[in-house]
Amino acid sequence: MIRLLSAAFAAVLALPAVSAETVQLAAADGAKVFGEVWRAAGAKPPIIVAFHQAESSSAEYAPIAPRLARAGFTVLAIDQRSGDGAFGGTNRTAAGLGRKATYEEALPDLEAALAWAKANASGAPVVVWGSSYSAALVFLLAARHPGDVNGVVAFSPGEYLENKTAVRDAARKVEVPVYIDQASGSDEVGQSAQILQAVKSADKQQLLSKSNSTHGSSTLRVDANPAGAETHWMGVLTFLKRFLPA
């Protein structure tokens, strides 16, 4: 295990560094939404808008976004108002709100991030990416903004919202390519399969991996999933290649 972890870290350290820059957005209700941007090289790279899981922040993507940027994608990861300090970060949006927010209340934050992506993409594809509760919300986001979303990535989606059919109802309106990954537990696999089945698009896939996995996007983090992260990376990067320039 130690040897595996060391090799994975060595591979990451050997790649060029990609720095993040802080941005501040405004949600439709006036809330300040903070985020970090990792920019890919080249003209008009596709943009991934990445959303975190419960009790978390954009720090969830600190070791994930640089690799996506090196693969050709500019990444915006935000602090949603429903979140906290998991993965060693500080959720600036939640702190500014001054109260605990529900998962559903975070949707305007996702919409603000999507608006930023469309304004900065210059016509390049925009992919929305969710983790746990935000993997539920990205289906609502894609259903509400069909002309602005070119792809959906969902890590550990489920019916986490107050309306227990809301995610599947939204998925029935999603016509863009969809990729789902989840922890290997039967509950997560089953919930993901039900959502995927509801997706209107014929271009949809679910990674069913026997390798180690963890909940949400953290399955890609070597510190959270040292033995299985690379398998999950291969799956999502293969899906994302379709959005890169030919």
Q: What is the pLDDT of residue 210?
A: 84
Do residues 34 and 79 touch, judged by C-beta distance below 8 A?
A: yes
Per-residue tokens: 128: 């929305």
* Mean pLDDT (10-residue bins), the chain, 246 residues: 42 62 98 98 97 98 98 98 97 96 98 98 98 98 98 98 98 98 91 98 95 95 97 98 95
Half-sphere exposure of 12 (CA within 13 A, CB side): 23
Do residues 167 and 159 touch, judged by C-beta distance below 8 A?
A: yes
- The amino acid sitting at 179 is Y
Give the C-alpha separation, 186 to 154, whole Å.
Answer: 17
Q: What is the pLDDT of residue 16?
A: 58
Kindly list the domain boundaries of the chain, sorted by start residue: 2-243
Do residues 19 and 28 touch, judged by C-beta distance below 8 A?
A: no
Give the C-alpha separation, 17 to 31, whole Å.
Answer: 32
Give the C-alpha separation, 19 to 36, whole Å.
Answer: 10
Per-residue tokens: 28: 């439709």
Do residues 153 and 220 touch, judged by C-beta distance below 8 A?
A: no
CATH assignment of 2-243? 3.40.50.1820
Please, what's the largest Cα pairwise distance for the chain?
Answer: 49
Give the C-alpha separation, 242 to 176, whole Å.
Answer: 12
Per residue, what are the HEC states of the chain? CHHHHHHHHHHHHCCCCCCEEEEEEECCCCCEEEEEEECCCCCCCCEEEECCCCCCCHHHHCCCHHHHHHCCCEEEEECCCCCCCHHHCCCHHHHHHCCCCCCHHHHHHHHHHHHHHHHHHCCCCEEEEEECHHHHHHHHHHHHCCCCCCEEEEECCCCCCCCCCHHHHHHCCCCCCEEEECCCCHHHHHHHHHHHHHCCCCCEEECCCCCCCCCHHHHHCCCCCCCCHHHHHHHHHHHHHHHCCC
Q: Is the pTM of this model over 0.85?
A: yes
Q: What is the pLDDT of residue 15?
A: 52
Give the C-alpha separation, 220 to 241, whole Å.
Answer: 17
Task: Give the other-Cβ count within 10 Å of 19's Cβ.
Answer: 10
Q: What is the pLDDT of residue 11?
A: 45
